[in-house]
Amino acid sequence: MKVTIDGISIDVEPGTSILNAARQIGGDIVPPAMCYYSKLEGSGGKCRTCLVKVTKGSEKDPRPMPKLVASCRTGVMDGMEVQNITSPEVIEARKGIVEMLLINHPLDCPVCDQAGECHLQDLGYEHGAAKTRYEFDRRTFEKIDIGDKIQLHMTRCILCYRCVFTADQITEQRVHGVLNRGDHAEISTYIQKAVDNDFSGNVIDVCPVGALTDKTFRFKNRVWFTKPVEAHRDCEHEKCSGKVTLWYKGEDVIRVTARKDQYGEVEEFICNTCRFDKKKTADWVIEGPRKVSNQSVISSNHYDTLRPLPVVKTNPVLLEANKEQFERETRL
């Protein structure tokens, strides 16, 4: 079936959402998404940042939809026409949604480990208002450890539910979720029970803000001062892909994360052994420098010379890849 988004038409499979149709087109017309995660069943419809305007329902029923709809939860119809960045109504609504998300969110960017990878930071820059109209006290929570290597900073949470869906779908038993309702709602565990399973670290990767952080990496370095390198290993855990991104500072691996696609979604989940226990270069087969979008702040310090990382300098294939990356970024 055919759908047109911001004047660009594409043929998609039945059942495709507007958001995924836009992702197939790519570029600036892709709506932002803070809660939707294509790898997690049932996600989406929580944050409302992906609202779009449907100006034509379908060929059979060309009437426009009366209200803005969440593109992550709305399926396309044949002949549907959608406006995203071309609709002033959508831009204004998105600005209001970002303002609401930031009502209780603290100005932690100067100290937050998520800075540079934070989708809320990007949204605030693109759609946020210069000032807030909120005059009441913000919600505050104490930082709590929900595992020996995971810290929850609930004050930063936007209740996207991603971590809950992750624990529900890739672990044996979920022990955390959303407690209470309304402005008292919070992510927590039952009676401070620790989150303890082989894949618990994935909740860090799926969190779009700095609410769930890696205690082994906290405050060690800014992400734009690190060098991301793709690597893999034959992991003993049958459900772990063993494909990761190693974040180097000099010759030291200071963080290990799952690989993410261009929308910040994990490609394949990894186990805690790969994430927390394997932080030596000798533990991994190095594939080469990770490609970083030149729109990311991480690219400001990404392979800015022809000198590759010490851990890959003896490999001629990686040396050439490093050179090509530098030349390409220089042209851009």
Q: Indicate the SS3 state at residue 319.
A: helix
Condensed to tens digits (0 to 9), the pLDDT of residues 54-101 reads 999 999 999 999 999 999 999 999 999 999 999 999 999 999 999 989
Residue 283: CB atoms within 10 Å: 15
Residue 69: CB atoms within 10 Å: 17
Condensed to tens digits (0 to 9), the pLDDT of residues 265-323 reads 999 999 999 999 999 999 999 998 888 877 788 776 555 444 545 555 555 666 666 66
Distance between alpha carbon 179 and the CA centroid of its chain, in Å?
Answer: 23
**Phi and psi at residue 275, to the nearest 5°:** -75, -45
Structure tokens at 184: 């008292």
Is the pLDDT at 1 greater than 80? The verdict is yes
**Phi and psi at residue 210, to the nearest 5°:** -95, 30
Least reliable range by pLDDT among 128-137, 224-233, 314-323? 314-323
Task: Report the pLDDT value the prediction gives residue 195, as an integer from 0 to 100.
Answer: 73
Task: Report the pLDDT value the prediction gives residue 14, as an integer from 0 to 100.
Answer: 92
Mean pLDDT of the chain: 85
CA 27, CA 86: separation in Å to the nearest integer? 13
Task: Report the pLDDT value the prediction gives residue 91, as an integer from 0 to 100.
Answer: 93
Least reliable range by pLDDT among 11-25, 251-265, 314-328? 314-328
CA 332, CA 226: separation in Å to the nearest integer? 21
Is the CB of residue 245 less than 8 Å from the CB of residue 230? yes
Task: Report the pLDDT value the prediction gives residue 198, as an integer from 0 to 100.
Answer: 86
Task: Report the pLDDT value the prediction gives residue 291, as an integer from 0 to 100.
Answer: 84
Measured torsion, CA atoms of residues 289, 291, 295, 299, in degrees rounded to the nearest 10: 0
Task: Report the pLDDT value the prediction gives residue 262, as an integer from 0 to 100.
Answer: 87
CA 326, CA 146: separation in Å to the nearest integer? 41
Whole-structure pTM value: 0.80
**Where does 148-274 show beta strands of DSSP type E?**
150-152, 176-179, 186-189, 212-214, 227-232, 243-249, 252-258
Taking residues 49-53, what's their average pLDDT? 95
Task: Report the pLDDT value the prediction gives residue 304, as an integer from 0 to 100.
Answer: 47
Task: Report the pLDDT value the prediction gives residue 16, as an integer from 0 to 100.
Answer: 94
Binning pLDDT at 50, 70 and 90, where does residue 192 land?
A: low
Is the pLDDT at 191 greater than 80? The verdict is no
β partners of residue 285: 232
Residue 199: CB atoms within 10 Å: 20
Helical (H) or strand (E) element with 21: helix 18-25
Is the pLDDT at 196 greater than 70? The verdict is yes
Nearest to 234 by CA among 194, 182, 274, 186: 274
Is the pLDDT at 31 greater than 90? The verdict is yes
Is the CB of residue 200 less than 8 Å from the CB of residue 150? yes
By DSSP bridging, strand 2-5 and strand 80-83 are parallel
Task: Report the pLDDT value the prediction gives residue 310, as an integer from 0 to 100.
Answer: 54
* Cα separation of the two ends of the chain: 36
Is the pLDDT at 12 greater than 90? The verdict is yes
Q: Which distant-in-sequence residues (6+ apart) come within 8 Å of 66 by Cβ?
A: none
* DSSP characters over 89-133: HHHHHHHHHHHHHTSS----TTT-TTTTS-HHHHHHHHH--SS--
Residue 331: CB atoms within 10 Å: 6
Is the CB of residue 331 less than 8 Å from the CB of residue 323? no
Greatest mean pLDDT among 52-66, 93-107, 191-205: 52-66
Task: Report the pLDDT value the prediction gives residue 306, as an integer from 0 to 100.
Answer: 42
Least reliable range by pLDDT among 142-156, 201-215, 229-243? 142-156
Higher pLDDT pick, 57 / 196? 57
Binning pLDDT at 50, 70 and 90, where does residue 139 land?
A: confident
